[in-house]
Structures are given as structure tokens and as C-alpha cells.
Amino acid sequence: MKICRTIAEVRAELAPHRSGSIGLVPTMGALHAGHLSLLRAARAECDTVVMSLFVNPAQFGEARDLDSYPRDEEHDLAAAGEAGVDLVFAPSAEEMYPPGYQTWVEVTELGSILDGVFRPGHFRGVATVVLKLFEIVRPDRAYFGQKDAQQVEVIRRMIHDLALEVELRVLPTVRDADGLALSSRNRLLSAPEREHAGALPRALATKDLHAARALLAQSDGLEVDYVEVADFDPPVLAAAVRVRSTRLTHGFTRLIDNVVLEGDPT
Ligand code: PAF
């Protein structure tokens, strides 16, 4: 497995592989079974598999959220190797956002609802880095998890609006035995906080907006940012909660989750 730190290296490494199909799995590291399912799908469907590993500062509002984001490059590279990744692109922030950087991609409407209300600028950061990764890797297929349903919808819109030649592949949410959707942020939860977080998948499993709102409103240890039905493709019941934490400096771990209401049961 090749590890590239610069855009020039990625382009040079991929040049001989352009006659076959290239799959890209964009990640921010702290890999879990959800990422591994994306890597497995990419491995099965593409000749060359590229994984990006970049904690994108542009999609974090507060410095402390960026600082507390889990990082473990050694573990991530080992997991990528085991999953059969051919190339990992792990750039520095300066490589992706060189001095004087000022070009942004904004999916205006989809980026400003739901999570966009609570995390202004988040989807601008996501769309910008994903478009830049697409341009660097030029994948035939790109793999994302249904867990981030709004992110998927933003990227789908960007691909359509900018006529990008990349196939969007969306894989089902992977859950732990207690129902919690796998997320890199779960490792920030203590055992009691994790119990409180369990209310989120339980509420969404009702697949009923009012029941989910009622269940979350009476749950201990968390604040609800939103519970909404979103008219995405497919439509989802989506929610975001902040699980109160006594250990983290900013006092909570923010979790998002959704269930598909109709169509493909991802
Ligand atoms: O889903 C993520 O991990 C990130 O938002 C992504 C797509 C890698 C962009 O930084």
C-alpha cells in the first residue's frame, strides 16, 4: 500500500492506473466497521482503491471540536492495508489549503438546513474538500455512508450541479449491538454517556416523527438539536443530539443518526 502526502505524488502514482476503474473512500480517519464496509465495497467494485485520510479543518466550526476529533494514523493505515487499499492520501492541512486559499463550494439550500443550522459552514467545508479530493484522485466511484444522510445529499447535489463524472455509492449505516450507529465520535463517550446516547437509535427506530421527538425529549443526559423528516433520496427521519459529558472541555459529544423511511433500507 502506497502512502502519499502530496497531491503531486497521488497524481503520479495513479497515472498508470487510469485505464482501470478507481474507487475513492474519503475519510477523516479513526476508522471503524462503517469505514471498513465502504472499503470492502470499493475493493469489490474497483481496480484501484484510494482512501483519503484527512481531518478537514474547514468543516469544523470550533477549534476545540477539531482538537478533540480522534486521530490514530497508525491504526488507520494498518486497517486500510488489511482492507486491501492500494493508496492512502494523507495530506497536511497546508497541502489541501495552501496559504492564501480562498475558493469554496457552497451547496446553498441543502447545506443550510438541519445540521447546517447548528454547524454553519460545515457543509461548505465538506463540499469543498470532497470536490478537491475528486479533482486530485479523479475516481470513477466514491463511497459514503448513509449515516451522514445530509452529507450524501449535499454531495449528490454537487455532483449533479457541477456535472462531475463520478458515481456516488452509498452504503448502509453500520450499528453496534446496542443500536448506536458507528461513528468516530463514539469513542469520546464514557459508559454512562453511551447509555444516554442509546436513546437516539431507539427514538429513530420508531420511524415516527412525533414518537421520536417525545422519546428524545424525555431522555436523560442529552440535548436535542433537531428531529426532522428530510425529503432526501431516500427520505429519512434524521436527528442530532448532544450527549452531555463531564470530561470533555466543551461539555458534550454531538451525534447524528437517521433511518430510511421508504425505499432502499440503507
Ligand atoms: O464523512 C467524513 O468523514 C467527512 O465529512 C469527509 C467526507 C471525509 C470529508 O472530510
Which tens digits make up the pLDDT trace of 205-259? 999 999 999 999 999 999 999 999 999 999 999 999 999 988 777 789 999 999 9
Q: Is the pLDDT score of 64 beyond 90? A: no
Helix axes 122-137, 149-161, angle to 10 degrees: 60
Vertex 57: Cα angle to 130 and 248 (nearest 5): 130
- Report whether residue 130 contacts ligand 1, using a CB cutoff of 6 Å: yes
Domains recognised in the chain with CATH numbers:
2-171 (3.40.50.620), 184-258 (3.30.1300.10)
Burial label for 66, CB within 10 Å (0-12, 13-18, 19+), is middle
- State the amino acid at position 117 in one-letter form: V
Q: Is the pLDDT score of 48 beyond 80? A: yes
- State the amino acid at position 223 in one-letter form: E
Alpha helices, DSSP H, located in the chain: 7-14, 33-45, 63-68, 73-82, 93-96, 115-118, 122-137, 149-161, 191-197, 199-205, 209-217
Mean pLDDT of the chain: 96
Predicted pLDDT at 86: 98
Q: How far apart are CA 63 and CA 57, in angstroms?
A: 8
Predicted pLDDT at 264: 61
Q: Is the pLDDT score of 63 beyond 90? A: no
The model scores a pTM over 0.85: yes
Residue in 32, 97, 107, 129 to alter for ligand 1 test, most ligand atoms within 8 A of Cβ = 129
Residue nearest atom 9 in ligand 1 by C-alpha distance: 126
